[in-house]
Amino acid sequence: MKIYLDYNSTSPALPEVVDAMRPYFSDMYGNPSNLYSSGRKAASAIETARAQVAELIGVDPASRIIFTGSATEATNLALSGIMRKQSASRRKLLISSVEHAATRETALALQKAGFELGIIPVNRNGQLNKQNLFEQLDDSVGLVSLIWANNETGTVLDLEGISDAVHSCGALLHLDAVQAVGKISVDTGNIGADLLSISGHKLYGPKGIGALYTGDGIELEPLIYGGGQEYHLRSGTQNVAGIVGLGTAAVICRERLNAYAEFTASLRNSFETALKAGLKNFIINGDPESRLPNTLNVSFPGENAEKIAMQLDRAGIEAATGSACASRKGISGVLAAMGCSPVETNGAVRFSFGWDNTVEEVDFTVKTLLTIINKPAGCGFTKTIKV
């Protein structure tokens, strides 16, 4: 038996997605750049998927959706593409202190290349210090990039007033919406984002495909040069099967959004309730009033999260100790940036739920977790960490 509780890391492709993709691996293999029949059919499939993704994120179906090889690539294109295209006077990039590595590492690379980088702090719940952001905004800022829903804690940023403030100083706003899309309602136009990154495999689509939305008139410097595909911004023959899969997943996620949120929130809440009934010494990380319905990040002070995860794995339960991109690299920088102590950070485990989970799986996981945490000292599990 395997219980998978790491849907923020990746999700299985839905059967409908696999079925939609299958013909494009063999029967419908045309190159979308060709003008003959098979090429035109492939190109048409791409345009259909483009409109499907646009509708999921709340923009006009004719909007510019650039397909990429991943959300990481989409975010790289957004940050590097905008900053390298901005005027010489706009050399400053602002990001939050809790960004995904795709944003953080791209920002640091730009800083090494001579751009200025500003970091916006967050509070204990992971919400942005808006006053600090507003104070940093001036006519030297070219782009503000924020993670809308945090992959580790599930905190959903309060974006009210941010786009207006960013635009008032002439800058642009990019949102990393990888965790938001498919889990909460996304209305890109209403929130005023100029660019928005999404991932296929985070919303029951295939791996190896991402997308970047860019608003009207947004100019980018490409990362990849060549044949001029994807509006001359991402050259290379398109991954038609992956694009079709992403489009199909977008349609399904849009149709099932409310049901998904209600279902996963019920599992998360059941998990929390059972945990509270059996354990006193734990902390729930993230904003209790504004977080993803499927995400629960818990600190067990004095415990070692990696050892907890290993014990869970032996019981057939898969959970994370942080971002999938950083789980092998030590403690969570996100939790540290939120002001969590080393003891809290070292003991943090993330559980993220999905369509395939059941109440029975939640019950079994909590019982197993309580057994691990309450294991007597000297039984080969963990030792207390002293501050």
Is the Cβ–Cβ distance between 350 and 286 less than 8 Å?
no
Enter the pTM of the model. Answer: 0.94
Q: Give the pLDDT of residue 376.
A: 59
Annotation marks residue 325 as catalytic: yes
Alpha carbon 150 to its chain's center:
7
Contact 212, 220 (CB under 8 A): no
Q: Which residues of the chain have pLDDT under 50?
A: 324, 326-328, 378-387
User: Each residue of 196-236: pLDDT tens digit?
Assistant: 999 999 999 999 999 999 999 999 999 999 999 999 999 99
Characterize 4-38 residue by residue with b for buried, 16 or more Cβ atoms within 10 angstroms of its Cβ, and e for exposed: bbbbbbbbebbeebeebbeebeeeeebebeeeeee
Secondary structure (DSSP) of 346-374:
HTEEEEE--TT--HHHHHHHHHHHHHHHT
Domain 3-8+257-372 maps to which CATH number in 3.20.20.140, 2.40.160.10, 3.40.50.1820, 3.90.1150.10? Answer: 3.90.1150.10
Q: What is the pLDDT of residue 329?
A: 53
d(CA 295, CA 316): 20
Rounded Cα gap, residues 284 and 271, in angstroms? 12
Instruction: Decide if 322 contacts 334 (C-beta within 8 A).
Output: yes
Q: Rounded CA gap, 107 and 99, in Å?
A: 10
- How far is it between the farthest Cα atoms of the chain? 71
- Domain 15-252 classification at class level: alpha beta
Active-site hit among 169, 253, 325, 340: 325
Nearest residue to 81 (alpha-carbon basis) of 248, 276, 212: 212
Can you tell me the distance from the alpha carbon of 28 to that of 68, in angstroms, rounded to the nearest whole number?
21
What confidence score (pLDDT) does residue 379 get?
47
Cα 50 to Cα 62: distance, rounded to the nearest angstrom: 8
Helix runs in 64-129, H state only:
71-83, 101-112
Structural element, H or E, at residue 284: strand 283-285
Coil, strand or helix: which one is 212? strand
CA distances for 357 relative to 248, 264, 294, 318, angstroms: 22, 8, 11, 12
Give the residue among 193, 195, 165, 197 at the shortest CA–CA distance from 179.
Answer: 197
Domain ranges for the chain, please list them: 3-8+257-372, 15-252
- Are 271 and 296 a contacting pair, CB within 8 Å? yes
Instruction: Look up residue 186 and give its two tokens.
Output: 């996304």
Strand partners, 175: 146, 196
